[in-house]
């Protein structure tokens, strides 16, 4: 697949490396024209406030929205998740609403800025860096992995979001989930990580 990585700010290079290592073509996306002919898109971690300003400056919101609405797969990690969430708090911030989750920014507190862990089930490695927390998930959101009972990997249709940094582990699982060939809803035959795969209202 031809996968774009939004490359305005943050951790985009490593995502490009992983995408290439999985046999995809990686395209750094910085302008509207760069969206052409992409099959998938990664919104990387970084600083969501800065990313939002740059998206405005380069007038990319419509391109992003159109991409999401076309049903093409999007993987949003950390700051990327903050951009695509329905609502954002701590502090409040504008977001695009591609996925029905409510997130709090920098929600683990300063004492534990960054840490590594494993998902509650499925052995998925997690690297958190000033990570957001998903406080609520809508009923159409699947929870694919949890940490200490909280959702950390979620999906709604074509939009897959991680509160952690999958590009910093050697586990391609998250990319495979996000960019599986069919991104249609329903996911026949898909075995989610962990037991509690249905999405409760938090
Ligand atoms: N690693 C990250 O992407 C951190 C996200 C950052 N704390 C934000 O609020 O945008």
Q: Is 197's pLDDT higher than 70? A: no
Residue 195, classed as helix, strand or coil, is coil
Give pLDDT tens digits for 128-142: 999 999 999 999 999
What is this structure's pTM? 0.89
pLDDT at 195 over 90: no
Residues pairing with 118 in the sheet: 125
For 113-129, what is each residue's pLDDT tens digit?
A: 899 999 999 999 999 99
For residues 201 and 139, is the Cβ–Cβ distance under 8 A? yes
Report pLDDT for 188: 38
What is the pLDDT, as a whole number, of residue 68? 97
- Closest ligand 1 atom to residue 93 Cα is 9
Q: How far is the CA of 11 from the centre of ligand 1 (A)?
A: 10
Nearest to 56 by CA among 9, 5, 2: 9
Summarize the confidence of residues 15-21 as an average pLDDT.
97
How far the first Cα of the chain sits from its last, in Å, is 35
The yes-or-no verdict on residue 192 having pLDDT over 50 is no
Provide the pLDDT for residue 181. 62
Q: Is the four-CA dihedral 14, 100, 50, 152 of positive or negative sign?
A: negative
Q: What is the mean pLDDT of residues 9-31?
A: 97
Q: Which atom of ligand 1 is nearest to the CA of 77?
A: 3
Token representation of residue 144: 């694919």
Domains contained in the chain, CATH given: 2-178 (3.40.50.880)
Strand 74-77's sheet: what is its strand order?
Answer: 25-29, 2-6, 40-43, 74-77, 159-162, 150-156, 142-147
């Amino acid at each position: 697949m031809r996968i774009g990585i939004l490359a305005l700010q943050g951790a985009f290079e490593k995502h490009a490396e992983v995408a290439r290592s999985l046999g995809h073509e990686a395209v750094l996306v910085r302008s509207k024209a760069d969206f052409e002919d992409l099959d998938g898109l990664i919104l990387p971690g970084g600083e969501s406030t800065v990313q939002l300003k740059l998206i405005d400056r380069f007038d990319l919101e419509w391109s992003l929205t159109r991409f999401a609405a076309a049903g093409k797969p999007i993987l949003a990690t950390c700051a990327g998740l903050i951009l695509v969430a329905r609502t954002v708090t701590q502090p409040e911030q504008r977001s695009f609403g591609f996925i029905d989750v409510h997130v709090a920014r920098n929600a683990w507190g300063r004492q534990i800025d960054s840490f590594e862990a494993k998902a509650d089930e499925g052995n998925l490695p997690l690297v958190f860096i000033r990570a957001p927390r998903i406080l609520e998930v809508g009923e159409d959101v699947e929870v694919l992995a949890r940490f200490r009972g909280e959702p950390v990997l979620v999906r709604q249709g074509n939009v897959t979001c991680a509160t952690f940094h999958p590009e910093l582990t050697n586990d391609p699982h998250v990319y495979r989930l996000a960019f599986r060939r069919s991104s249609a809803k329903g996911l026949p035959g898909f075995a989610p990580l962990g037991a509690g795969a249905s999405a409760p209202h938090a």
